[in-house]
Chain A
Amino acid sequence: MREYFPRGVLPLLRAGEYNNGYMAVEAFLYLTFVGTFLLLFGPFVGLSIALRKGKEKTLKVFRLVLGCVALVCLLCMAFFVPIAMTTKAIYRTPQYNTDIGCVNLLGVPYGDNRVGNVFAWLNVALFLPAAGFSILSAIFPSRRVAYANRYIATPLLILCVPFLWNLAHAYVGTNLSISYKETLVAIALGACLSSGLVALILDRKERLQKNSDWAFVFAYFLLAVFAFLPMGTFATFVPTDSILFGRIQSSWRVFEFSFVQRLYIYIGIAFFVLAYFLSRSDDLNGKKTVLLLLSIGAISSFFTEYGFEGIFDVANGYKVMPTRLPIHLCHTALFVVPLSIAFNGKKVFYFTYFINVFGAFAAMVWPNNGEYTNMFDPSVLLFWWNHMNALCMPLLAVALKVFDRPKMKQMGYSLAAFAVYFVAIMFANGYLSNFVPGYRPGELGSGTDYLFINNDYILGIFGEEAKKMLNVRVQFNSGDLVLVYYPLYQSLFFVGYVGIAFLMWYVYTFFYAVEDAHVDLRMRLKTRKQNALSFKEARLMKTLTPSEETPIRLNFSSFSKRYGSSPKLSVDHLSLCVSGGEIFGFLGPNGAGKSTCIKSAIGIQPLTEGSIDVCGFDITHEPVQAKRLLGYVPDHYALYEKLAGREYIGYVADLYGVSKEDRAERINHYLEAFELTEAFDARMETYSHGMKQKIAIMAALVHDPKVWILDEPLTGLDPQSVFQVKQAMIAHAKKGNVVFFSSHIIDVVERLCTRIAIILEGKIVFEGSMEEVERQHPEGLEAFYMSIIKGGKGA
């Protein structure tokens, strides 16, 4: 067991088994760590004691500065000390149909000690996101991030302390010594730990709002783990590969738009979509933290290939390698996004939004991998992760509302910036190519090719004919330098890219519409859920619940209705209660709000304010129960005219659950009353207007409703039919039910109704019994009504 267990604190306890050289390095590491920690954390302790209360602002500034210092330390470490566990050279073999044997383990810290290597890798994989959280919780305090720092990040960092040796091994490799690399690792751990502890102490009073926030906290950390995964080392530990099984899967190649390449795109998009859903409900600082975590993780991975030893030729006097500068378009996104998020740099941010996103997408769709590149090749993974960040980060920042949706002028600024960048890169290509070993001026591919404007890769996609554009070439000589440009191709490239940037505007507009629809849907669902909960609570508090004992009534309680965004209420806080046994007349001029009240009462329209209940059942929250007690005759009959009268009544009776015996009895009764027996089995398209109206009335009565609402039921009926309908209304009210009807025929209302209300401009201007009306206004209802209306309009 001992030989598998990696070194850590144990060497100090097993001093006799290791040579003094190792001990010295270990001591150096821990001293550097402790020194850094004390240097950074010590002043905080001192400040806290000295300042006591009332100087929280100073402490906040201190934490911000400390966070930035820790960030710089971490990035320096990532830049100058690439993770040792890469096996890049292994995969670049031309033969992919055979196993290529065991992986070369020279770069791996623990040789063929597989457990040790995995442990070292885990050490790195957990240290980085923990460090990220500790730094960002100091810079952008937020509730969920504070919890992640408190319960996950800082404890992990503390756990890294006894295993600092393994961490250093993972970064530096097998031969540890006292050098700048080991120093940087120790400083990074010390700075990040102190930053995390400071944030933990200052945020100790933060509390999560609900239990589900725990899931978010862990999800955030998992996101960070993925974002900070050392992509370049991934190949070493993939189960099909190298260190565990010693073989490489040869058939998973990545080229052009193959299935595997698409798989990478799907996984990348799924990751960022997940990040969106996780952080959309967080506060602004929380969102910024998530975005920065992803950005810093990407930068950390990026330095694996473009770190100090990636850019400078270490073996040749640290000369800059001209083809290895991080000035490709997608490289700019890696730095621009986090800087603009951290410093709220809108203009800079929108450059990536309009320019980088398409470039990254094009790169993902047309990757310039070699034909035999394996899917776990470090260059493939790094390429994928860098470009997914450049593609998705700007979109995520706008989707999370960290930045507003851009306006046209911001696109203008971006295009102007792109023009400057393009010209700079064009000249850079011409100039830097001179320093590439083996460069032959005018020979494509022998110089530098930033932005793909110095090569025929892009044109190759369009065919051989397109490549002829490169024949238009301009060459300048300046001393020893030869500057070669391709004006036709490069101009068209620029114009084409700008054109696509314009098109992106419309693509974005489409996606905004999709997002708005999604947000609108969420808000509606939330509102409905809240309303239902509020109603349940209100119902619980009420003493009266609908039951057999509930009086038969139609009750409007402070009911208001507004149509759309109209400034005026169509019905304004109307309160009215109609009890069983009443024939209630509802009068008013056109547009007064009669139909609005009726349609709201039967559940066709939602209410703006107030409530309407039918025998105690709220029409909004208990619509089915309320409607079972309602019968409605519309102002214009609404029938399925292909059906026979009997079929239609049968259909309505089924919907109301009327038993066979009851429906037969009622149908026969109303057929006789309305004299429809002969025509009842004919299709309703052959009926006259009066017959159709009678069928509508029958349909409203077949279930013997407690509340019967009629909206101008007598319009267009012959006198006999009018009489029949009135008789039906009287009979229904005599049974103790409510009959509520609106009409313009004042004479009928006067003779039929027991109580009336007059509505004018959405408000009840009169309500009372017919006896009161007759007593107070012997001239009759019509004269009274006209006086009310004229008086109301004149007022």
Chain B
Amino acid sequence: MPNAQERKKNDVKAFWTLVSMQWKETLVFPIKGNLKDVLTRVLLYVLGIGALTGLFFLMFYLLGYIGIFGLGGKIPLLLWNLFFYAVLLIHFLSSLPRISNAMYFSPDNPVLLSFPVPSQYVFFSKILVILLRDLLRSAFSMLPLFIAIGIVYLAPAYYYFWLILCWVIFVTLSTALAGILSIPYYYVSSFLRKHPYVKTGILLGLLGLGTWFLFFLVSLMPEDLSLVAKWANVYYPGLLDFAQNIEKALTPLTFLSRLLTGYDPAHALDYPSFNPVSIASLWIALSLLGILAVFVLLGYFFLRKFFFQMASKPSEYSKKATKASSSKPLPSFLSVLRKDLLNSLRTSETLASAYLLVMGAPLAILFLNVIFQAMKKTYAGQMYTIVVNALIIALILLATNVSMASVFSKEAHNATTLFSDPVSLRRSILAKLLMRGVLMLISIIVTVVVYANYSTFAFMRLDVFFWCVFFLFFGHFLWSAELDYINPRHHVYAQSSRHIGFNPNEVKSSALAFLLSFAFAGLLFLFLNESALTGIYHLLVATALFFVARVFLFIQKVRAYGALPFEGRGSK
């Protein structure tokens, strides 16, 4: 029998084994394995952070160079704080559901609790893995921001070491708070799961609120924007006021900013030099560590108990009696349509995404054109307005097609039903495409109608423009579906409701959406420059040819890959 010391040693070893096992599941960084692979991943990670840092730096530098925030070539820390708070808030809000799922709904909980390890070690191993994962994830959002502001402000060398410590504190605090709040979050989400109509109602309500807010912003827009002329006297002071109001509302967060950069709210509008490590910041650090200690204690006493309670609870819940639905026979094509419709309507996320799909582009165009309308434009300005509108319309609409690049694979958990059904697969494909296609056609129509209300270019034929967008959109739509059809990822979706890692089809579809959008806008610019009267017809011919080519290729590939599209190709 091992003695207490040996038992302790074994338990600690087991703890690290648990951490290592759960860490591997995150697939972020392999700990063991091919050294070359590990180093390559680390290098890519570092390069990614470097690239983002460069992007942020460029943004801050350009803003300072243009001098829109006054002379001095720097962005005031007050405004930088807005970015910082936004990043923290997003991190916190995204941590909450992630922690809740990882702690209470993770399928490995029963297995972990059955291991011969003290049960609190299971809890702490989970917490540690969550924290490490959050640190790595947030490195992409926070570190580039912190490093960029340091470069812009010519921060001293020690700042870059200080920011690592601050970053750890910020993420740990955010994760700890999210952990505590995961308890009420759990109850709320369980309630919503059992009452899906409430969830749907809340989601639709939020969407409605968002739409209303957008219309509210539109109503605030002045008739004459004169961004450049009024910037110094009207807009910039307004922006600063807004930022100061935000700061007042989020006063505790200013301490975090003070800790990192030495920011002093009393000198918010100045451009103070960086003074990250000072007596004040040390006091703040100690206070934060104290708060963290409180969170840890709370976590230990409440969260741990709650975890064990939740981890051992079954996820099933009692069935509610529902109204008996009719089983009226339908033709197979309509039956497939009905099935997909019911599936979509009964998933609140699908409803929300359907709303965004239809209304996303029109609302964006509305907002954009209200701004454009408030600007005085020359002839060239009008041309640029048209091109930017075309670009935004194309980008938003084509981005919605990315999900078509997994339209068949996502059915993977129903794959056997799909392929053992005695119906030509083409009918199933058509049913899938039809539903989505109709939805997006509505979106295109609404978008062009909204745009038509604001277009002031006399020569712009919006009926022809509609067809240009139609051809472009549906060409890419079919292309994305084709990518999934000939190279399905069903073997990945069969194991998980979402794709683990990157779905190469979705990546290709995104890249195509990007390229096609810029090509569309570029061609429109070129053709309109040549002839304002006939340019749009040239674009019509180009997009029509693209559409015809994609339809032809889609049909050929469905024929070539036949009624057995998933064989062998899903293993790539």
Contact = CB atoms under 8 A, between A and B. Distances in A.
Q: Do A and B come from one complex?
A: yes
Interface of A: 258-259, 521, 524-525, 528, 563-564, 602-606, 623-628, 630, 632, 634, 638-640, 642-644, 646-647, 649-660, 663-664, 667, 679, 681-683, 686-688, 699
B113 interface: no
B330 A654 contact: yes
Contact of B328 (A605, A625, A660): A660
A543 to B, nearest CB: 26
Interface residues of B, number: 51
A644 B415 CA distance: 19
Contacts of A658: 329
Given A603-B563, A624-B422, A630-B422, 17 more contacts: A524-B560, A525-B560, A602-B419, A604-B567, A623-B422, A623-B563, A624-B423, A627-B422, A640-B343, A646-B325, A647-B339, A650-B329, A654-B329, A655-B336, A663-B329, A681-B321, A681-B323
B322 A604 contact: no
Contacts of A626: 422
Contacts of A643: 339, 342-343, 346
Contacts of B2: none
24 contacts: A258-B530, A521-B556, A521-B557, A563-B568, A604-B415, A604-B566, A624-B422, A632-B420, A634-B416, A640-B343, A642-B346, A642-B347, A643-B339, A647-B342, A649-B327, A650-B328, A650-B335, A653-B327, A654-B335, A655-B332, A655-B421, A658-B329, A683-B346, A687-B319
Nearest to A564: B568
Contacts of A663: 327, 329
B327 A681 contact: no
B157 interface: no
Kindly list the 10 A-B residue pairs having the minimum CB-CB distance in the complex, ordered from nearest: A654-B335, A627-B422, A524-B560, A650-B327, A628-B422, A642-B346, A634-B416, A686-B319, A632-B420, A682-B319
Contacts, number: 137
A630 B423 CA distance: 12
A659 B328 CA distance: 10
Contacts of A651: 335-336, 338-339
Contacts of B324: 646, 681
B571 interface: yes
A312 B316 CA distance: 95
A639 B417 contact: yes
A288 to B, nearest CB: 30
B335 A603 contact: no
Contacts of B499: none
B304 interface: no
A48 B142 CA distance: 89
A683 B330 CA distance: 20
A643 B322 CA distance: 12
A99 to B, nearest CB: 23
Contacts of B538: 259
B329 A660 contact: yes
B245 interface: no
B429 to A, nearest CB: 14
A116 B417 CA distance: 75
B184 interface: no
B33 interface: no
Nearest to B412: A638
A644 B420 contact: no
Contacts of B330: 654
A323 B177 CA distance: 81
B443 to A, nearest CB: 24
Contacts of B553: 521
A539 B330 CA distance: 33
A649 B328 CA distance: 11
Question: Which of A628, A650, A653: most chain B Cβ within 10 A?
Answer: A650
B278 interface: no
B199 interface: no
A664 B324 CA distance: 14
A650 B530 CA distance: 59
A624 B424 contact: yes
A602 B420 contact: yes
B339 A604 contact: no
Nearest to B571: A564
A686 B423 CA distance: 29
B567 A606 contact: yes
Contact of B325 (A639, A640, A644, A679): A644
A632 B343 contact: no
Contacts of B567: 604-606
A642 B342 CA distance: 8
Nearest to A667: B327
A566 to B, nearest CB: 11
A643 B561 CA distance: 30
Contact of B422 (A521, A525, A564, A655): A655
Nearest to B333: A654
B414 interface: yes
Contacts of B334: 654
A653 B561 contact: no
Question: Which of A524, A651, A653: most chain B Cβ within 10 A?
Answer: A651
B272 interface: no
Nearest to B422: A627
A639 B424 CA distance: 20
Interface string B516-555: 0000000000000011000000100000000000000100
Contacts of B564: 603-606
B559 interface: yes
Contact of A681 (B325, B424, B568): B325
Nearest to A565: B568
Contacts of A624: 422-424
A564 B416 CA distance: 20
A687 B419 CA distance: 24
B320 interface: yes
B67 interface: no
Nearest to B527: A259
Interface string B427-442: 0000000000000000
Given A606-B567, A657-B332, A528 B417 contact: no
A524 to B, nearest CB: 4
A631 to B, nearest CB: 8
A647 B562 CA distance: 29
B317 interface: yes
A653 B327 CA distance: 9
Contact of B335 (A630, A634, A655): A655
Contacts of B346: 642-643, 683
Nearest to A664: B327
A642 B319 CA distance: 13
Given A564-B571, A643-B342, A638 B417 contact: yes
